[in-house]
Amino acid sequence: MKSKLVRIFSAISLALLVLIGVYNQQLIQLFHTIRLFNSDVIVHNFSHIPDLVQTKVIKPTGPVNTFDHSPKALPATFDYYVDRKNTQDWLTATNTTALLVVKGNDITFEQYYQGTGEFDHRISWSMAKSFLSALFGIAVEDGLIPDLNVPVTDYVPQLIGSGYEGVSIKNVLQMSSGIYFNEDYGDFFSDINRLGRIMALGGALMILLRR
């Protein structure tokens, strides 16, 4: 009986080692994704994304716009609704890691905090929506998309039969699709955390979108 248990244990151990060897990269990414928002590593994670997950570099195909520098000091205080905020206290309270102020074509203020730097590869989060919207504007101007009021299913037919059926590209770009999305980062089973785990394991995002 004992030898049989040893053989079973050895077989299971071998299978686990094979799985770890085959899916090593995905498991590492899953580990980092689960710990992405942990307070002891969140600043490092957000500033070193290529070290945590697989990324792809999109190289520019045309001229790159550059900004001039006209440094100016930040105001000591600013008004927020009916309150007067101390700028430095606000930067500390919000755990700011970087602040960039652009006016026209000039960078008037640029500062990094909490051990981060100007060459960090940061995760952009919702800023990516603005870039994506601009790309869709270019696609409309170039005639690649007739207009933004066409249904998203014209371009992603896999969404037919889901909550996105009948939703326009404009609705999606404006985040007015009507689709519920739980963005509670503290909830392990929220949509945002499920999305992260699917990406870490190399799964298809359509799993989450088709509902």
In the chain, what are the helix, strand and coil shares in percent, each to the nearest 5?
40, 15, 45
Q: Distance between CA 43 and CA 122 in Å, rounded?
A: 10
The DSSP secondary structure of 23-40, one letter per residue, reads: THHHHHHHHHHHTTT-TT
Short-list 189, 190, 165, 188, CA closest to 180: 190
Which of 3, 39, 47, 126 is catalytic? The answer is 126
Neighbours of 145 (CB within 10 A): 16
Residue 126 annotated among the catalytic residues of the structure: yes
Q: What does the radius of gyration of the chain's CA atoms come to, in whole angstroms? A: 23
What one-letter code names the amino acid at 107? I
Catalytic residues: 126
